Structure 1
Amino acid sequence: MTSKITGTGNYIPSETITNLFFDKHIFMSEDGSLLKEDNASITSKLQKITGIEERRYAAGNQVTSDLGLIAAQAAIEDSGIDPETLDYIIFAHNFGDVRSGTVQSDTVPSLAARVKHLLKIKNNFCVAYDVLFGCPGWIEGVIQAHAFIRSGIARKCLVIGAETLSRVVDIHDRDSMIYADGAGAVVLESSEDGAGILSHLSASHTFKEKDYLYFGKSYNNESCPDTRYIKMDGRKIYEFALVHVPEAMKQCLDKSGYSIDQLNKIIIHQANEKMDEAIVQRFYQLYGTSAPADIMPMVINKLGNSSVATIPSLLTMILKEELENHEIKEGDIVLFASVGAGMNINAIVYKF
């Protein structure tokens, strides 16, 4: 017995933020000095490296749990299940509900509990909890749901990934341009028809890598020193990812019993287009071959990096035939992979 996806849903906010949005920003270095480049050069360089032309931000009256609810409702409808039959609701995020115009994170009660309440589920034995695992949080939630189903203590699980990173960025840090908002969700059910999760792998690199992504003060020294924002050491993350993510992907694929030439699609966390392309090429090099041109769909150019939401959002778009030149057919073998704060890495090999 394994677990398989029986429903998918996503929510892509309607507010489109192009690179021109940052034209008047005052970007600074970590020491508080102004960057020497003009903003047009800064955004052009960002687009060349990350591929991001635009991103989506949530509406002012929305918080992360609102986005997650919409994606969850779509996944439940797609699966055709009765929400009362859910055994678990697992909500992956990193910063909780942060209301527009504020900097305070609200995580009590859990976002999963809020979604369960809004879904009007009366079943007290539907357990709702959150997962904080960096950008790989949604995949980790799926792995946990899979473990519950394999153990026999659950038959149906809802796994949500949602984030409003636009609420936790330092506007004086050029890295703030990468981040976006969004949500995605899936329903997982027990399966014995051969389709579903074939293998999975998770790892946490914390000995030297713990603070590659962290919460730090604004680069503007005149800002409140007690307010913290998402920060990253981009160079160290890039170097770390290119070494460790391909190795993890290979271990996961090898555990599945399938070969590299049987792989139909790689759905990777939309973090940085250049980095993701390098990861996939290095993964194929471990097998002594090159990556096919159409193996990895990318939407970061239009949606930005919405952390835990990128993979379930992209999966939904492919299955709903909303992404040109990409499809997933019955019997296809798909490798999911992610890397993020922690530094955490995980992967799943899945047969549709």
Structure 2
Amino acid sequence: MQIKITGSGSYIPTIKVTNSDFGQHHFLNEDGSIFNMTNEVIAEKFVEITGILERRYASPDMVNSDMAFIAATKAIEKSGVDPETLDYIIFAHNYGDIKSNSIQSDTVPSLATRVKYLLQIKNPKCVAYDVLFGCPGWIEGVIQAQAFIKAGMAKKCLVIGSETLSRVVDIHDRDSMIYSDGAGATVIEATDEAGGILAHESATYSFDEAKYLFFGNSFNKEKQEDIRYIKMHGRKIYEFALLNVPKAMACCLEKSGIAITDVKKILIHQANEKMDEAIVNRFYKLYKMETPAGIMPMSIHKLGNSSVATVPTLYDLIVNNEIEGQSLNKGDVILFASVGAGMNINAIVYQM
């Protein structure tokens, strides 16, 4: 028995936001003072570091679970499974459903339950629950689905990663330019085909790192003190990721027994182009190798950082030939990897 992705789907929100759309924002320092740089220069430096030219935001009439439902529907259709035969729906997110122009997160019932309702699944033995694991949430959901299947508790699982980060950003913080919205979903099944999930690795670093990503006050001191926004210590995250993610990727690869030269693609969380490139370069340096050209497909330039949605969306775009110059074929070995709030790290070696 092998455990494989038999169908994938994604939802790319309709509202396109370019860097020039931030031209009228009033960016501030953490202490509330005016940031001493023009928005044009901010945008130039932002692109140099992150690679992000534009991002997508959910339309006002949609919430997180709506996007997830669309992605899930596509994944189910691609897999050909009867939704009533799903044993688990695992939904990775961080902030629940947040209506447009609202400050309140809604997580009751769980977003997984909401997707099950929207799918009109009647089977009560289809268990629906949410995962809060930062940006690596979708990968962790896949690892959990594999565990259920291996244990004989499931045969088919739907794993979703979806988020609306645009609704938790502080518009006075330059970091708000990184974040975006989106959804990706996959059906994970036990099959007789070769390949599938060959190894996985997960870790939580919390002794010093727990609050590298957190909810904090706006940089605008005139905003209400009881409202919180997504915040991060960018430099600390960058240094942490470069030190720890390549090691986790190497550990996962060694568990799989696959040679590094057999890895066709690395699908890494689309957080920051400069950081992702540095992570992958350090990974190959562990093997005293140069990074192969084209090994790391990127979607961040057009889609930004949509947290848990970035990896499953990237996978879905590639298998549907929607990223120029990138493809995946039967038998290809992929290394999935992510890092995010927690600080959490995980990886999967997967064979198509």
TM-score of Structure 1 vs Structure 2, range by shorter chain: over 0.9
Runs of at least 5 residues in structure 1 that lack an aligned partner in the other structure? none
CA contact (8 A) 1:2 1:149 kept: no
Question: What is the deviation of 1:194?
Answer: 1.8
Partner of 2:53: 53
Secondary structure at the counterpart of residue 210 of structure 1: coil
Deviations along 1:325-349, one digit per CA (max 9) or x if unpaired, are 1111110000000000000000000
CA contact (8 A) 1:183 1:309 kept: yes
Question: What is the deviation of 1:193?
Answer: 2.2
Partner of 2:330: 330
Partner of 1:268: 268
Distance 1:341 1:79 in 2: 31
Q: Compute the TM-score of the two structures, normalised by the length of structure 2.
A: 0.99
Question: What is the deviation of 1:110?
Answer: 0.2
Question: What is the deviation of 1:102?
Answer: 0.5
Secondary structure at the counterpart of residue 9 of structure 1: strand
CA contact (8 A) 1:94 1:133 kept: yes
Distance 1:343 1:137 in 2: 12
- Counterparts of 1:1-352 in structure 2, within 5 Å, are 1-352=1-352
Distance 1:204 1:284 in 2: 23
Deviations along 1:269-309, one digit per CA (max 9) or x if unpaired, are 00000000000000000001011011000010100000000
Secondary structure at the counterpart of residue 264 of structure 1: strand
Question: What is the deviation of 1:44?
Answer: 1.0
RMSD, aligned α-carbons:
0.5
Distance 1:307 1:69 in 2: 17
Q: Compute the TM-score of the two structures, normalised by the length of structure 1.
A: 0.99
Question: What is the deviation of 1:14?
Answer: 1.2
Question: What is the deviation of 1:43?
Answer: 1.2
Distance 2:293 2:272 in 1: 17
Distance 1:290 1:132 in 2: 35
Deviations along 1:35-84, one digit per CA (max 9) or x if unpaired, are 00011111111111000000000000000000000000000000011000
Question: What is the deviation of 1:261?
Answer: 0.5
Secondary structure at the counterpart of residue 188 of structure 1: strand
CA contact (8 A) 1:52 1:300 kept: yes
Question: What is the deviation of 1:257?
Answer: 0.3
Secondary structure at the counterpart of residue 237 of structure 2: helix
Runs of at least 5 residues in structure 2 that lack an aligned partner in the other structure? none
AA paired with 1:38? T
Aligned residue pair count = 352
Question: What is the deviation of 1:3?
Answer: 1.0
CA contact (8 A) 1:93 1:134 kept: yes
Distance 1:195 1:88 in 2: 22
Distance 1:191 1:155 in 2: 9
Distance 1:44 1:307 in 2: 23
Deviating 4+ runs (over 6 angstroms): none
